[in-house]
Structure 1
Amino acid sequence: MRISTLKIKGYKSFGPKEVIIPLQDKLAAFIGLNSAGKTSALEALKKLFGSSLSEREIYRQDFHIGKDENSDEITERALSIEVRIDFSEDEQEAVPHFFSNMVVDELLGDLYIRIRLEATWKKSDLIPQGEIEVKTYFIKTPEYEPDQEDNKQPFPNHFRTLIQVLYVPAIRRPAEQLRYASGSILYRVLRKIKWGDDLKETFVKKIGEINDAFKDLSEFGTVQTSITEFWQKFHKDERYRDTNFSFGGSDFDAILKKLEISFSPTGTHKPFGIDELGEGYRSLFYMTLVCSLLDIEEKMAEEEDETIGVTRPLLTILAIEEPENHIAPQLLGRVIKILKTIAEKENSQVLLSSHTPAIIKRLDPEYILHFRITEDYETEVNPIFLPDKADEAYKYVKEAVRNYPEIYFARLVVIGEGDSEEVIFNRLMDVMKVDFDDNIITFAPLGHRFVNHIWKLLEALHIPYITLLDLDIEREGGGWGRVKYALQKLIQIGLEKNEVLMTSGDSVLSDEEFEKMHTWGVNKDDDTLGGWIDYLKEHNIFYSFPLDLDFLMLIHYPEFYKKAIPKGGGPRIPDKDAEPEEFEEKVNSAVQATLKSEKAIGETYSDEEKELMIWYNYHFLGRGKPTTHIQVLSLMSDEEIKSNLPSVFKEIFDRISSILETN
């Protein structure tokens, strides 16, 4: 059995509209920026299935307060936390316990149960913190039907032992879980041990022998006599006249409370206690206790007589906050493997929260849920969108988001086509005084042929994005082909076709015209292409004009790129005046190489631009692009870069500022 859906309404950052959190597997990750509601979602499960009254307690501050609401003026509030629990086809142990409370959506459909906690708070003149009423029910109507009061069945207390939450907070305190106290992991483990009467009798006998040995010491008798004499001077109550020192022989639990764990060898000739371990090892040991508990319960269940009934939870939910805390990066892969192993157990389910890419890149995107805070300061939860598995783009997008998990945590994503864009944007941050890290902006080189799927993913997560693409005029598929591609992708992510294809005269391109767009010629004197490029800027799509980003930088800073050569290096360029034919041949071959066609003549490029293609070949076709840009940009001052900055970068950084102001 597993929780397949968690629904929260009116709890902490979850607003009055119910938020549905689908859990696709027995391992799910809640990700997002700080204070997005991840911890609240985990704590909601603890309110429903916590093993102690203190864990299930509902407080005034648990009720949601809206952005513009005055808490002093609120007189009543309600919250609800609901789970849907599904059962596997071969599940035999749990079904009998819940069968009478199961529901089904359709004939021969899957059986499931709904459990809901409902709480109300009302202002009170008598009680300063107000009156809170909490009730938990089985909901005996299918999810698609409206609720009815007569279909709510009280959730019996004895059912709480069948579903339990092990909540591991972000701040690990393993010492608390090693105490023999109600609610601790050690308590839950040791309670499984069947302490026989023979053991207890032996225990009492041994304690008695120890007490007798102490009493035989004359010094011990002196201490006890002195204390008794002074005790009797302070009072005359016959009931408490004498004092006796001894080890509690009959209190078996008392000795269990003194159990401790130590670690050796330590290299210091003495064992280490749990509190002497570093933060990282303490965190790892906390998870060790959890794994051990689940393992012990599973093994003991196999050994127990089936006739005595269920003696362990039928479902244990491990809710763990930030498993990466205090743990070295190279160990995180091991931690995730262990959590996956726990999730695969019949009676276990794992939910974790994180805001680090190091954890997220080790998980399948299908099992990730993205949390964000809306403008109304309410939590919104969205699954990670992926193309259909049969789609060619599925593998690309899955690997892309795994390799660039930072996009999940960004306030804004800047998408480029490759490493050159990343190098240049990193340098321009200093020039334009826009710190990507400080503003939580992520650069991702994902602007390839599946870029529409990245757009769709970011749209679903409500993360704004800016895209810089190459225009590639006179390359195959370039120019109008690149514009057509972008328009097609905008339509594919859900924009209205007639809106996307509207021309400047308020007419709409016909399907036939749009289909042939990639064949339209580029004319130097016709600004039609420029008009469509300007239109795409409204959708935050920009182009490196006229070719790609490398050529754009070369056009604007030619002297700096010509200087960035090793001693004795650089292209071999015939003298333009002394060897005109050789020079022209060199230019023509450079144009063909740059435009990637033996038929290319560069008719839309100026003579100066075609001559620069010699340097383009040298720097960007014969050497590493990022290396060249790093070298050149390091030689330039901020003012030198800014003085001739390509206009597309000015536009992009203006758009970045505009988006940040509204988000």
Structure 2
Amino acid sequence: MRISTIKIKGYKSFGPKETTISLQDKLAGFIGLNSSGKTSALETLRKLFGASLMEREIIRSDFHIGKDENPEDIAERELSIEVRIDFPTDDDDSVPHFFQDMVVGGEDEAPYLRIRLEASWRKSDLIPQGEIEVKTYFIKAAEDEAEDADTKKIFPSHLRSLIQIHYVPAIRKPGEQLKYASGSILHRLLKKIKWNEEFKEEFDTKISEINEAFKGLSVFNTIQTSITSFWQKFHKDERYSETALSFGGSELDTILKKLEISFSPTGTHKPFGIDELGEGYRSLFYLTLVCSLLDVEEKISEEEDGETIGITRPLLTILAIEEPENHIAPQLLGRVIKILQSISEKENSQVLLSSHTPAIIKRLEPEQILHFRITEDYETDVNQIKLPEKTDEAYKYVKEAVRNYPEIYFARLVVIGEGDSEEVIFNRLMDVMDVDFDDNIITFAPLGHRFVNHIWKLLNALHIPYITLLDLDTEREGAGWGRVKYALQQLLGIGVKRNELLKLKGDNILSTQRLEEMHTRDLVKTSKTLQGWLGRLKEYDVFYSAPLDLDFLMLTHYPEFYKAVIPKGGGPQIPDKTKKPKEFEKKMNKAVQATLKSEDATGETYSDEEKELMIWYNYHFLGRGKPATHIQVLSSMSDEEIRENLPPVFTKIFERISSILQTH
């Protein structure tokens, strides 16, 4: 059995409108920026299934307070936490315990269980914190059916132990879990041992022998006699007059409380206790204890032919881990995730973790991720990662893209480019334009390829704003008007209104046929119209490096700087334009063909100066590494030199970045 859905309403940052968290896998990752509601979501499971009253306690601060509300004006509040539990079709061990409380949605659907905690708070003149009432129910109606008083049945406390949660907090204190105290992991582990009477008798005998042996030492007796003598001088009460120095008594529980764990070798010739380990190893050992508990329960169950399932072993154990990355070296995180994955694959285990680091997220499957964010009303919004259909060609690309650039999940704004050149240039320009990407949580992602529309869909689903810079590639195959057509079609595909995006003069709308034929338009005759559509796309945060690509754009705006960064004796070896016009013409034509990637290319839409610069484009960007060239050039320029001739598209982009940051 596993929890497939968590529904939260009115709990902490979860507002009065119910939020549904769908768990597609037995391992799920809750991701998002700090204070986005990840920990609160994990806590809800403790409120339902915590082993102690303290874990399940609902207090005043658990109830949601709206952004513009004054707590003093609130007279009452309600919250609810509900889980849906699905059952395996090939294993019926868990079914008998809950069979009479299951519901079925439809004729061919599998039965499932709904458990809901409902709590209410009311202001009280007698109780400073107010009156709180908490009840937990089985909901005996399917999710699409109406509810009434008869569809609620009180959830029996004795069934709570069948579903247990182990909560691993962000601040790990494994020492507390190594104490033989009720609720600790060590206590639960040792309680699995069946101490037979023969062992207890032998144990008591051995302890007595040790104590008697110490009494045989003369110095030990001297200490014992001295303590008794002075004790009797301090008081004359016959009670408690005799003292006995021994090793904590002979009771088994007393000895178990003194159990400790040590680690060796240490390099100091003595074992280390748990408190002597570094934070990272303490964090790992906390996870070790939890894994050991699950492993021991499983092995004992196997030894007893599974008869303990639902009796001494829970039907479902939920492992909820806050920030598994805390204090752990990045190279060990892969191992941690693999272990958690293996735990989730056990028949009676489920793992939920929260994180706000790309190092963890890149190790999870996108389908396992749930994205948390805080809305403008300071309420938690939860969304799944949307990928193309698995049969779609784009599925694999997008899946790998978001895995390689997990930073986009945590961004306030994503800037999408086509490659490494854009990243180098934006890194330099953010200094020039005084917009720190890190400080403003802006992520650059070189994902502007032919599947960019799927990246747009993904970011739209997560409500993360984005700006896209694409190459216009004028006169390259399928480019120019083809690039504009593609962008318009993809914007329509993500829900942009047709009558706004394709609006023409006179309130006419561009027809589907004309849009389909857009790539066939003559670039020379329709250059002004093309510029108009480029302006329209800017309204939707789609910008273009025109007329070719970003490398050519930078070259045309800073030609002298790019011509200057050549090794001694290097360069494109350009024939003298005046003395050898034919050789120069031949060199230029070859450069145009190479730049536009066609032997038939003429560069008719480019100026003579631009075609001449294609010789340098060919040298710098087709014969050498693009990022290295840009790094070399930009590092040789001052901020003022860059600012003096900055391509207008960057001015527009950074204006838009500032505008978005002000509203998000």
Shift of 1:108: 3.3
Shift of 1:217: 4.3
Kindly provide the CA deviation profile for residues 373-392 of structure 1, in whole angstroms up to 9, marking residues without a partner as x. Answer: 00011100000000000000
Q: Distance in 2 between matches of 1:516 and 1:525?
A: 14
Shift of 1:65: 1.1
Matches within 5 A, 1:14-29: 14-29=14-29
Counterpart residue identity of residue 629, structure 1 = H
Structure 1 residues 539 and 307: CA distance shift in structure 2, 3 A:
closer
Kindly provide the CA deviation profile for residues 523-558 of structure 1, in whole angstroms up to 9, marking residues without a partner as x. Answer: 378521111111111100001111110110011000
Is the CA contact (8 Å cut-off) linking 2:501 and 2:536 kept in structure 1?
A: no
The corresponding residue for 1:97 is 97
Counterpart residue identity of residue 254, structure 1 = T
Q: Distance in 1 between matches of 2:430 and 2:84?
A: 47
Greater Cα shift, 73-82 or 516-525:
516-525
Is the CA contact (8 Å cut-off) linking 2:77 and 2:122 kept in structure 1?
A: yes
Q: Given the alignment of the two structures, is residue 497 of structure 1 paired with residue 517 of structure 2, yes or no?
A: no
Is the CA contact (8 Å cut-off) linking 1:387 and 1:453 kept in structure 2?
A: yes
- Runs of 4 or more, structure 1, over 6 Å off, are none
Kindly provide the CA deviation profile for residues 479-530 of structure 1, in whole angstroms up to 9, marking residues without a partner as x. Answer: 1111111000001112222322112432101122111111111237852111
Greater Cα shift, 519-528 or 503-512:
519-528
Shift of 1:8: 0.9
Q: Distance in 2 between matches of 1:525 and 1:116?
A: 63
The corresponding residue for 1:304 is 304
Q: Given the alignment of the two structures, is residue 121 of structure 1 paired with residue 121 of structure 2, yes or no?
A: yes
Shift of 1:634: 0.7
The corresponding residue for 2:4 is 4
Is the CA contact (8 Å cut-off) linking 1:203 and 1:249 kept in structure 2?
A: no
The corresponding residue for 1:452 is 453
The corresponding residue for 1:65 is 65
Q: SS in structure 1 opposite 2:495?
A: coil
Is the CA contact (8 Å cut-off) linking 2:473 and 2:547 kept in structure 1?
A: yes
Q: SS in structure 1 opposite 2:160?
A: helix
Is the CA contact (8 Å cut-off) linking 2:84 and 2:115 kept in structure 1?
A: yes
The corresponding residue for 2:257 is 257
Q: Distance in 1 between matches of 2:234 and 2:60?
A: 48
Q: Given the alignment of the two structures, is residue 144 of structure 1 paired with residue 138 of structure 2, yes or no?
A: no
Greater Cα shift, 506-515 or 535-544:
506-515
Is the CA contact (8 Å cut-off) linking 2:8 and 2:80 kept in structure 1?
A: yes
Q: Given the alignment of the two structures, is residue 469 of structure 1 paired with residue 466 of structure 2, yes or no?
A: no
The corresponding residue for 2:130 is 130
The corresponding residue for 2:361 is 360
Shift of 1:211: 3.1
Aligned residue pairs, count: 663
Q: Distance in 2 between matches of 1:234 and 1:616?
A: 99
Q: Given the alignment of the two structures, is residue 107 of structure 1 paired with residue 79 of structure 2, yes or no?
A: no
Normalised to the residue count of structure 2, the TM-score between the two structures is 0.97
Q: Distance in 1 between matches of 2:99 and 2:233?
A: 68
Q: Distance in 1 between matches of 2:416 and 2:507?
A: 30
Structure 1 residues 126 and 230: CA distance shift in structure 2, 3 A:
farther
Kindly provide the CA deviation profile for residues 391-449 of structure 1, in whole angstroms up to 9, marking residues without a partner as x. Answer: 00000100000011100000000000111100100000110000000100000000011
Q: SS in structure 2 opposite 1:263?
A: coil
Q: Given the alignment of the two structures, is residue 341 of structure 1 paired with residue 348 of structure 2, yes or no?
A: no
Shift of 1:216: 4.1
Shift of 1:218: 4.8
The corresponding residue for 2:284 is 284
Counterpart residue identity of residue 416, structure 1 = G
Q: Distance in 1 between matches of 2:525 and 2:421?
A: 27
Q: SS in structure 1 opposite 2:506?
A: coil
Q: SS in structure 2 opposite 1:165?
A: strand
Structure 1 residues 498 and 189: CA distance shift in structure 2, 3 A:
same
Q: SS in structure 1 opposite 2:507?
A: coil
Q: Distance in 2 between matches of 1:248 and 1:601?
A: 96
The corresponding residue for 2:485 is 484
Counterpart residue identity of residue 277, structure 1 = L
Is the CA contact (8 Å cut-off) linking 1:13 and 1:377 kept in structure 2?
A: yes
Q: Distance in 2 between matches of 1:524 and 1:357?
A: 48
Greater Cα shift, 645-654 or 223-232:
223-232
Shift of 1:215: 3.8
Q: Given the alignment of the two structures, is residue 47 of structure 1 paired with residue 47 of structure 2, yes or no?
A: yes
Q: Distance in 2 between matches of 1:615 and 1:573?
A: 9
Counterpart residue identity of residue 347, structure 2 = E
Structure 1 residues 439 and 577: CA distance shift in structure 2, 3 A:
same
Matches within 5 A, 1:575-590: 575-590=576-591
Structure 1 residues 428 and 397: CA distance shift in structure 2, 3 A:
same
Q: Distance in 1 between matches of 2:232 and 2:271?
A: 43
Is the CA contact (8 Å cut-off) linking 2:208 and 2:250 kept in structure 1?
A: no
Normalised to the residue count of structure 1, the TM-score between the two structures is 0.97
Q: SS in structure 1 opposite 2:259?
A: coil
Q: SS in structure 2 opposite 1:435?
A: coil
The corresponding residue for 1:201 is 201
Q: Distance in 1 between matches of 2:590 and 2:597?
A: 10
Q: Given the alignment of the two structures, is residue 390 of structure 1 paired with residue 394 of structure 2, yes or no?
A: no
Q: Distance in 1 between matches of 2:620 and 2:216?
A: 94
Q: Distance in 1 between matches of 2:407 and 2:307?
A: 52
Q: Distance in 2 between matches of 1:236 and 1:381?
A: 71
Instruction: List gaps (5 residues or longer) in structure 1.
Output: none
Percent identity over the alignment is 77
Q: Given the alignment of the two structures, is residue 619 of structure 1 paired with residue 632 of structure 2, yes or no?
A: no
Greater Cα shift, 249-258 or 482-491:
249-258
Shift of 1:225: 4.6
Is the CA contact (8 Å cut-off) linking 1:207 and 1:248 kept in structure 2?
A: no
Q: SS in structure 2 opposite 1:316?
A: strand
Shift of 1:310: 2.1
Q: Distance in 2 between matches of 1:562 and 1:300?
A: 75
Instruction: List gaps (5 residues or longer) in structure 2.
Output: none
Counterpart residue identity of residue 97, structure 2 = H
The corresponding residue for 1:76 is 76
Shift of 1:249: 3.8
Q: Distance in 2 between matches of 1:580 and 1:88?
A: 80
